Structure formats: C-alpha cells, structure tokens
Amino acid sequence: MTESGRDRELERLKALARYAILDTLPEEAFDRLANLASHIFEVPIALISFVSEDSQFFKACLGLDMRQTDRSLSFCAYAIEADEVMCVPDATLDARFADNALVTGYPGIRFYAGAPMTTPDGFKLGTVCLIDTVPRAPLSAEEQALLASLAAMAVDELELRRKTLALERETHANATLLAHVRRTARHADALVALSELTDLDLTPRELAVQSAALVAREGRLDWVGLVMHDDTLMTVLPLYAAADLTPELAAHLALPPRVTLQDLSVLHARARAAYADDAAALPAMHAALQAHGVRGSALLPLGSFADVTYSVCAVRRAHQGWTPADRALLSMYGRSVAERLRRAPTRPAQPPSDAAALQVEVRVGPLRVHLQQRRLSLGARGVKLTPLELQVLLVFARAPERLFTRAELERLAWPDARPDSRNTLNVHLASLRRKLEELTPDVSILTVRGVGFVLHLEATMAPPA
C-alpha cells in the first residue's frame, strides 16, 4: 500500500470509529435490510459487513453462523476498494479467493456480490453483500443498481443511528450539566444557610448539631460526628445520623475511633483535612465499617479549646468522590464550629466552661456522663469515674441492650493497649456496677455467664430526648 493509500485507509478507519458500530448488538433496522436483500436476490446468505483494521464485523448476518472474520479472509475488503458493485460468480475460479478458508471450508462460498456503503464524506466503511454456496451468473446492471440502493439505505440508517447517538449523548451531557448546576446551587444555598446559622446566638453544641443536619443533607452524608480527646481520653459525639442508618453501623460509628492520639496530633499539626473514597484508607475508620457499606470518609481537625482537641468526622455510603463543593461545605462547617468554640469562653451570656460543653456529656438512661470531669450524675448526686471505668461505660452507652463479649469490651475500651490482666476488666466492671447502683436501679450491667456483658435499661424508663 502506498503512503497516500495508508493515509486514506487511516482516515477511513477514523470515519468508521465515529459511527461506533463495531462489536455492537444486532439492530432491527439493519436486520430488515439483510432480510430484504436475501428475499429480493434469492440467496441463502446476506450480510451487512463493516471492514475494520484487522477484521470484518457483520452488523446484520442472515444465513451465516458467525459475527466476524479476520480481514485477510474478507471478500468485502476487496469490494470497498471499488466504486461499483463487485461480483464473483465462482470463487473457486478467482485467483484472489480460490484458496480462501471461507471457500475451501465453512460456509463454502461460491458466489459473492457486494455493494460498498459509502458515507456522505466519501469513505467506504463496508458492504451490503450477497453470498451463495453455488456458482451464479453475474448480477445484471439493474440488479447491481438495486443492490447499490440497499447499500445506500444502510448508510442512511447508519447516519440516523449516528445522529441519534449524538443527540442522546448531548441530552445526557445536558442532564449532567443541569444536575451539576442544581447541585452547585444547593451547595451555595447551604453555605448561605450555614452562614446564617453562624450569626445566631447559639451555643457550640447547638450550632454543631443544627449545622450537621444541614451539611449532611446537602453533602449527601450518612453520619457526622465530633471526635474529642485530651491527653488520655478519646470519645465521639454523634451529631447527625441518616434515618435509614442501621443500628449496627450507628453503634460502630459512635464508638471511639480506631485511631491513636498520636495520629490525631499529626493531623492537627498539619491543620489539613483528610478525605478518603475508601473507608479503610482513613485511619479513624473502623475496619468493620466497610462491611456495613461505608464507602467514603472525611476527618477535619478543628483545633484545641479548653484543653480538649476536636475533629469532625463524616461518612457516606454512596460510592462517590469528595467533590470540591463537598469539601468547601465541610470546611466551612468546621470553621464555623471552631470559631464558635473559640468564642464560647468569652461570651457574656455563656459560662466559661461552655466550650467544653459542646459534648462533654453523654446520656445513659436518666444518667449523665460528664466526659471532661469523668463524673456520672443523676440530678444533684454524682460519682467520680476512673478513666478505664469511663471508657467501659462509653462502650456500653453507644449500644444499650447489646451483648458485648469480654474480648470486644477490652478491644473497644482500650484500643491502644489491652488491660494488664484478665482481672482488670472484672475489677472495673464491679466498681462501675456499684457506682450505677448508688445512683439508680434503672441502669445496670448484667453478666451473661460464659458469654459477655449487657448494659440494661429498664423498659419502663423512656430514653432521654
């Protein structure tokens, strides 16, 4: 092939690619043309064939049990080199095809006639062809004109298909653009609403909870929580949970995260958020979360206030990346809560401890667990908890009535280090039981012999709002 011939073939292949027809499923319009050709010319085999770089693909295939062949076996590869219909009355007598495997073997081609399908810009993409297994007389001029008309009809169908696909792609692109514009508008509205919430006279806790619902709805989040820690203790405050969140997933999310204080300190030192499209890729996520369908997670450092360090954690079950709009929304949420924490101790209407009050307490039935003071209270009465007692109670508090094995309690209450001895957990459980009994009979730790432990709340007692 000459250089000009190679260039022309390259342009033909580009034109073929634009129609996106190769290796596609059968379509009724092309099948009808093949059936019509077989009926008009009374041949057992009629094809609509497209010739690619190294093969020929049969878009319509009547009477032949194959969808493509190698180009080296293709009669149509010769037919597209001509401007007129190519006829081969007896392939066994034609030097080009006598040794062709399609002649010497299945399907035993003898007669062939092919009319090139020529696009409006002059490229011959393939043929409408007729095949018989016995020799036949060449087509008359009238028959050749009729076959050429069928090839032109095939090109018309091809053009219609291309324009339809282009219109579908344009419609899809427009729908995608419209969805993006609407999503951007919703994010902008959410930023405005978040700004308006920030202007209200809300405590840090009120701002964090109300803003979390707004951010979760617009950012398609399933859960938002606040991670808090000092030098020895880490805990989680759930701020928002989707209505369809399973109790098991909610319990996992509410437990202290599987991340060391050192990891969080590094994150805060960098003052940079960490985003992951795979829950396991973010250290703060429990490995079990993936089993519950979590596919994306984010951790945003807020800073340290009143000796407590805060981070916002968010997760989503949808398998989608964190867009710039998502990050902007979460970033503004984090800045708003951090600024309110920063201002809280000096606000005249707030007590000095209000920054820590964002969530330094957890409700367990009628009891309040004050995280900063490690104190358990009912009304004016209260008892002091040791750090290990507090960790054990927090594990129970995230999932009352759930059975925890000894191994689970040890792993969840002391994620960075196990107790020194088997008796350590028994000692702290016994002490915690006594302290609960001092305050109320409505909250108790039950032992399921040989299995584990349960935090039991009396059924007659409504859970706190």
pLDDT along the chain (465 residues), means of 10: 82 94 94 96 97 96 94 96 95 96 96 97 96 96 96 96 92 84 75 76 77 84 82 73 80 60 52 67 55 81 77 83 85 85 53 39 81 82 86 82 82 60 76 91 88 80 40
For residue 37, give the nearest of 13, 17, 62, 1 by alpha carbon: 62
- Integer Cα distance of 436 and 442 in angstroms: 9
Name residue 115's beta-bridge partners. 128
Decide if 302 contacts 338 (C-beta within 8 A): yes
What the block records as the tokens of 309 is 């360090």
DSSP helix/strand/coil, 449:
coil
Burial class (CB in 10 A: 0-12, 13-18, 19+), 52: buried
Q: For residue 464, what are the CA distances in angstroms to 26, 75, 285, 363?
A: 64, 82, 28, 7
For strands 452-457 and 443-448, give the pairing.
Answer: antiparallel
pLDDT of the residue at 423: 67
Please say whether the beta carbons of 50 and 154 come within 8 A. no
CB-neighbour burial class of residue 406 (10 A; exposed 0-12, middle 13-18, buried 19+): middle
Q: Provide the pLDDT for residue 257.
A: 55
Q: What is the pLDDT of residue 241?
A: 86
Report the DSSP beta bridge partners of residue 368: 363, 377
Q: Residue 324 has which token pair?
A: 């710039």
Give the CA angle between residues 458, 460, 465 to the nearest 5°: 90
Q: pLDDT value at position 1?
A: 62
**Per-residue pLDDT at 315:** 86
Q: Residue type for 261, please?
A: L
Q: For residue 275, list its beta bridge partners.
A: 298
Report how far apart, in Å, the C-alpha atoms of 136 and of each of 31, 68, 131, 271, 317 are.
24, 24, 10, 83, 66
- DSSP reduced 3-state for 404: strand
What is the pTM (predicted TM-score) of this model?
0.49
User: 3-class DSSP state for residue 202?
Assistant: coil
Predicted pLDDT at 464? 40
Could you tell me the domains of the chain? 3-166 (3.30.450.40), 200-356 (3.30.450.40), 360-465 (1.10.10.10)
Q: Count, in order, helices (H) and strands (E) of the chain.
A: 13, 18
Q: Are 333 and 314 in contact (CB under 8 A)?
A: no
- Strands lying side by side in the sheet with 367-370: 361-364, 367-370, 375-378, 381-384
